[in-house]
Amino acid sequence: MTTGRRLSVAIQRARRRFTVDEYHRMAEVGLLTEDDRVELIDGEIVEMAPIGIPHASTVRRLNNLLAQRFAERAIIDVQNPVTFGRYSEPQPDLTLLRPRPGMYSDVHPGPDDVLLVIEVADSSVEYDRQTKMPLYAEAGFKEAWLIDLTRDQIEAYRDPAAGGYREIRILRRGDRLSPEAFVDAELGVDEILP
């Protein structure tokens, strides 16, 4: 075995998973700051991709649309943490949360609080599809949407199970969809996509 290969194997063995509590302590002592664009995914601190103009514009558009349709029925949360399990605290682009006194001032929302989790993706689309969607399903998030800016489509994930969602719908321009929690409120794909 070459020295480089031994070093690589040693580095792989040296990896460890961080808990949500350890992740929070890193922020408390200044190892991580608000300016660090990171999230905790299955025990790994993952750097998030920079937010480009189409991504930012879509998040703003969707935030405005969700606020118009659901402001009285849900809390619309933008790029804030959700916590689940011992090792994950992602920061989805948007979530619809169950209304709660105090607006979650004592705890980050978890799967039972989230009515819909939404990821907007361009450069991170495969990561979001292959890593985050199965993670959300295993944690029990009832519904997740992946807004795929590269394919100009929305993937709606429902019916969570171990390993992933059992139902995945692909929606394109001209299609309409509703959050499962609010089936009476349809949104047009054209209203969401740039």
Q: Would you write out the chain's pLDDT as a tens digit for each of its 194 residues?
A: 454 555 555 555 667 899 998 988 999 999 998 888 999 999 999 998 889 999 999 999 999 999 999 988 999 999 999 999 899 999 999 999 999 989 999 999 999 999 999 999 998 899 999 999 999 999 999 999 999 999 999 999 999 998 899 999 999 999 999 999 999 999 999 999 98
Residue 3 belongs to a domain: no
Q: Which residues partner with 187 through β-bridges?
A: 177
Query: Residue 67 is encoded by which pair of tokens?
Result: 């606020």
Residue 161 belongs to a domain: yes
Query: Residue 85 is encoded by which pair of tokens?
Result: 């399990």
Residue 152 belongs to a domain: yes
Tell me how far apart the alpha carbons of residues 90 and 43 are, in angstroms, rounded to a whole number: 11
CATH code of residue 179: 3.90.1570.10
Least Cα distance to 39 among 57, 20, 53 occurs for 20
DSSP secondary-structure letter at 15?
Answer: -
Identify the three-state secondary structure at position 171: strand
- pTM greater than 0.85: yes
DSSP secondary-structure letter at 93?
Answer: S
Other CB atoms within a 10 A radius of the CB of residue 34 amount to 6
Residue 166 class from Cβ within 10 Å (0-12 exposed, 13-18 middle, 19+ buried)?
exposed
Looking at residue 129, what is its pLDDT?
A: 96
Which structural domain, as residue segments, surrounds residue 168? 49-192
Q: How many domains does the chain have?
A: 1
Residue 78 belongs to a domain: yes
